[in-house]
Homo-oligomer: A and B are copies of this chain.
Amino acid sequence: MAQDKLIGIDLGGTTTKFALLTQTGKIVDKWSIKTQTEDHGSQILPNMIASIQAKLEEWKLTSQDILGIGMGSPGSVDRKAGTVVGAYNLNWQEVQAVKATMEEELGLDFYLDNDANVAALGEQWQGAGDQDPNLVFMTLGTGVGGGIILDNQLVHGAHDTAGEIGHLTVSNDRFDFPCTCGKSGCLESIASASGIVKVAQQMLAENKGQSQLYQVADRGDLEAKVIFDLAKQGDDLALLIVDIVCDYLAFAAGNIANIVNPSVIVIGGGVSQAGAILKETVEKHLADYLFPPLRDKTRVKIAQLESDAGVIGAGSLVLKEKLA
């Protein structure tokens, strides 16, 4: 029974989630703590260490029982150095020696990767990906990110930015919004939660009609979820907005598939809770953009693990890295 457990950490700007996992990906225990971002995030690592130590004690486990710890982090992760920099929602402006600190304090091997990559691993291992070795994960939330797994390995590229699908250029027309990254027409500026609202605002300004969205907008309640909910109820303008957003998503998904040829594209993140309408509308448009031989070979699925994708994927990172 030596070293048969994994620990997964999903570090976020508000909450740090943890799980104790078996090597077959089952959650034995999960818990979370508030991410303390004060004082340049200097308490983040000490708090994680203390939380893991307390949990190991609670389960009467020692470092002999744990194969290693994996973590998904926001910001720019240097996997080889084991550091994170520029994670602004953590107040980590300076380079953080995450791996070295964690390994020294806990006496356990520690691996890290960016949060979207780790969530991709989670969905592949225990979620919608069904252990498919060739999978693309798109996460639609506050931002748009992604992870690409080919031949069972995460794709990192030359500078660890492979899978930055939020900044694919997808529009050169009236939805060519400026993006926070500095360019325009990015997928994130259209298909993130706030991007969907921007598309809706533009459509509301251009259209006249009976849509309930006018009242919603007047109340200041225009949000991605409301738009999808009204679309499901048959509101014409809401349906049109969903169709436009999903067309851009399909453009991005189709071109990603033409480039790296996954068998499955998993859509996750908060926006994916819209469910079937999102999946079906993306699928409807996908054929326009997919290389025809791939049309019956590229499936679209909605993510299944919700907020557990990160901790489960972080656990699988240990297996990937340690058993590689």
Question: B-contacting residues of A (Cβ < 8 Å)?
Answer: 132-134, 148, 150-151, 155-165, 167-169, 181-183, 251, 254-256, 258-263, 288-294, 297
> With A155-B150, A159-B297, A251-B169 in contact, do A291 and B259 touch (Cβ < 8 Å)?
no
Asked if A158 and B292 sit within 8 Å, CB to CB, the answer is no
Closest 10 pairs between A and B when the two form their complex, measured CB to CB:
A157-B261, A134-B158, A158-B263, A167-B291, A162-B261, A182-B292, A169-B289, A161-B261, A162-B260, A168-B258
A275 to chain B, nearest CB (A): 25
> With A169-B251, A289-B183, A291-B181 in contact, do A262 and B151 touch (Cβ < 8 Å)?
no
CA distance A258 to B292 in the complex (A): 23
> With A162-B150, A292-B182 in contact, do A260 and B157 touch (Cβ < 8 Å)?
yes
Residue from B161, B288, B294 in contact with A159 in the complex, judged by beta carbons closer than 8 Å: B294
Q: List 12 A-B contacts (CB under 8 A).
A: A150-B157, A159-B261, A159-B294, A161-B258, A161-B291, A164-B291, A165-B258, A167-B291, A168-B258, A169-B251, A182-B292, A183-B289
Chain B residues within an 8 Å CB radius of A155: 150, 155, 260
CA distance A164 to B259 in the complex (A): 6
Asked if B150 and A293 sit within 8 Å, CB to CB, the answer is no
CA distance A288 to B184 in the complex (A): 8
Residue from B157, B159, B169 in contact with A255 in the complex, judged by beta carbons closer than 8 Å: B169
Asked if B288 and A161 sit within 8 Å, CB to CB, the answer is no
Since A158-B261, A165-B258 are in contact, a sample of 20 more A-B pairs with Cβ atoms closer than 8 Å, ordered by chain A residue number, is A133-B158, A150-B155, A150-B156, A150-B157, A158-B263, A158-B297, A159-B293, A160-B261, A161-B261, A161-B291, A162-B261, A164-B258, A164-B259, A167-B258, A167-B291, A168-B259, A169-B289, A183-B289, A183-B290, A255-B255
